[in-house]
Amino acid sequence: MIRYDEKNKVFLIDTENTSYGIAVVDDRYVCHAYYGKKLADTDIRYLLREDEAPLTPSVNKRETGAFLDFAHMEYPETGMGDYRESALCVRSMNGHRASELCYEGYEIVPGKPALEGLPATWGKEEECTTLKIFCRDALLGMKVTLLYSVFEGSDALCRSALIENEGEESFYIEKALSACIDMCDRDFEVMGLFGSWARERHIQRMPLGYGRQNISSFKGESSHQEHPFLALVTPETTQDCGEVYAMNFVYSGNFIAQAEKSQFDSVRMTMGIHPEGFTWKLEPGKRFTVPEVVMVYSAEGLGKMTRTFHDLYREHLIRSPYLHEKRPILINNWEATYFDFDEKKLLEIAKDASELGIEMLVMDDGWFGKRSLDDSSLGDWFVNEDKIKGGLNELVENVKKLGMKFGIWVEPEMISPDSDLYRKHPDWAIQIPGRDITQSRAQYVLDFSREEVVDAVYEMIADVLRSADISYVKWDMNRQLATLGSFALPADRQGELSHRYMLGVYRMQERLITDFPQILLENCSGGGARFDAGMLYYSPQIWCSDDTDAMERLAIQEGTALVYPVSAMGAHVSVCPNHTVGRVTPFETRGDVALLGTFGYELDITKLSAEEKELVKVQVEKYHKYNDLIREGDYYRLASVADNGYYDSWMTVEKDRSRALLFYVQVAARANAKSRFIRLAGLDADKCYMVEGKVYAGSTLMNAGVRISSEFGDFKSRLIEITEA
Ligand code: DGJ
């Protein structure tokens, strides 16, 4: 519900358990008044401390500059005297960097407007409500509409903004973030997700000091290294208690997420497109839409935050018809063959896989152009018939005869210097004239800011998809953007390239899922460099990491599941010694870890021993038994090996609390150890549950726990089903 208190000039945006307060000061400033647990009334003006402007308290209590550097603002701007991080920075044609938004009015509407060309949460009119706050800078003729949407039954709040030029002259947007909140400090700690290739999204938590702490990417993608998620938590916060303020960006390109503790002990939390290298020329009559930020406040710890994101994304972000379906168990030939395969090898894999219950073969990188290594052919999206003899359709039909579906890998955004496409259109690569193009994995990035480039690549790939019965596409992206320059943009618009590139990627993904609605799309970026909420709008699943080692995956999947539904996490069983870290783990454990996600295999199944093949059958059975529960249930993190050094545990609980599944892995054996008790979560305290043949009260399982014996040896996993008795 969204209320406006005319007398106090206060907006209160309520969700089931939270309130978000905005106040209009002096009929002019749009100030942030409150975010936290639900409030009963709107009489909250005192929270603004309007009489406490610093510097000249006894002389001029409302001296504007001082007020601006102290006030809690909704959309702070550069140039007028707020020296903290701004959300908006605009440069006029005569070079001045300043703007001064004045409140003009508001509108509360049912539903949620779509964001032009951008991924965003969505909902029916009866499911959500939007507050629009209109502001204007008279000098620039700039209108800014701040958008706030809330959904029935969700504690999330979604923010975005529209910037319109209603003036006579163009201006340049140099920064336009998506969300800002100002709060009084509560000894906040900063939580983020950090990593590297094959080591994505490890959780990091550290105290917030004075100054600015930010997490960002200007690599042109959300990145392996830093992630568009930021949470401020109180020191006592755990999985089930303490306060959390979280922001997650529904965008896949450059971002900045920042916490700034000011001289007055207030904390400003911001998120949006990274201003590094960004400018956008806004001509009269044009508008710019900033991508969406989803904010979640939880007074019940990180677990509640996680489940709020999961539910919102499953109900109001992911659109795929496959969202609520058990995905086919796939086998991907990447770790099995890398580039060294032909149709015969693929059919051998498919044959053995089909006999064990695997349902789809995915042909990974190397099937097109003359690609036999990673040094050529990106952009030449034609089947290499020297490798795939008889052509794609014949291969697909032969795979189908085995009772399996067929999937294919593509990397649409890239171009190899050694490709026919590059020889024909060298100007299609992103580049700065006169400079060597920075290469990475021997490839360049296509200029997806250009419609004709996107369209040409789309047509080539669509032709391939039309040429055979293809059920799945893995869309990969294996390098970051550099040497940023576009032949299609004038000098004063070069700063638009990275964002226009993302809009091009989104446009092509939209076209793909519209023209081929039967195709299950999985996004991927050199592993998990683009596992973000933006991509989830187009694909219900994303490859989580190139690291398939079961132990490494514990941290990667824990960090990913902190924000994103487990139904979206691409997770596969691979061989040992693991190709990334050389570790040897039991086949059973690899299967149990991969169950937390979209299950599959990434190995040469023809080389497995008879015993391992029997284990594949058991894993396939487990997947069919538990996937509905894992995919649709509530996820609870119970223990993390990163904290305790020995074991990891999570569980998933059916929404009606009638059934649950406990996962436990003993990562490291401990000498002379006794059994441990894992306290369950999310059950109904008053119900009785059957666990391994014995009945317990829900309260006993949650307060005293399930007893797990210590085992001899490392990396041992257990799955325990809990059913209502
Ligand atoms: C990176 C992906 O994450 C891998 O799974 C594989 O598809 C390779 N790219 C292929 O180049």
Q: Which atom of ligand 1 is nearest to the CA of 528?
A: 3
Residue with tokens 């195709």: 519
pLDDT tens figures, 223-251: 999 999 999 999 999 999 999 999 999 99
pLDDT above 70 as % of the chain: 98
The model's confidence at residue 57, banded by pLDDT at 50, 70 and 90, is very low
In a mutational test of the pocket of ligand 1, which residue from 221, 363, 365 has the highest number of ligand atoms less than 8 Å from its CB?
A: 365
Q: Is the N-terminal amide bond of 577 cis, ω within 30° of 0?
A: yes
> Can you say how many angstroms the Cα of residue 105 is from the centroid of all Cα atoms in its chain?
33
Residue 197 beta carbon below 6 angstroms from any ligand 1 atom: no
Choose the catalytic residue: 182, 546, 604, 634. 546
> Is 476 one of the catalytic residues?
yes
pLDDT at 406 over 60: yes
Residue 663 beta carbon below 6 angstroms from any ligand 1 atom: no
pLDDT at 65 over 80: no
Taking CA atoms only, the protein residue closest to ligand 1 atom 10 is 365
Phi, psi of 718 (to 5 degrees): -140, 140
Residue 543 beta carbon below 6 angstroms from any ligand 1 atom: yes
> Is 546 one of the catalytic residues?
yes
Residue 200 beta carbon below 6 angstroms from any ligand 1 atom: no
Residue 188 beta carbon below 6 angstroms from any ligand 1 atom: no
So what's the pLDDT on residue 62? 61
List residues bridging with 414 in a β-sheet: 445
Beta strand 189-194 pairing with 202-207: antiparallel
Token code pair at residue 546:
């190139």
List residues bridging with 601 in a β-sheet: 331, 573
The answer to whether residues 245 and 302 touch, using CB atoms and an 8 Å cutoff, is no
C-alpha span between 723 and 690 (Å, rounded): 5
Asked which of 50-64, 254-268, 394-408 is least confident by mean pLDDT, the reply is 50-64
The model's confidence at residue 51, banded by pLDDT at 50, 70 and 90, is confident
pLDDT above 90 as % of the chain: 97
Is the pTM higher than 0.85? The answer reads yes
Q: Which atom of ligand 1 is nearest to the CA of 524?
A: 3
Continuous segment of H or E residues that includes residue 611: helix 610-632
Q: What is the DSSP string of 189-223?
A: EEEEEE--TTS--EEEEEE--SEEEEEEE-SSSS-
Ligand 1 centre to CA of 365 (Å) is: 7
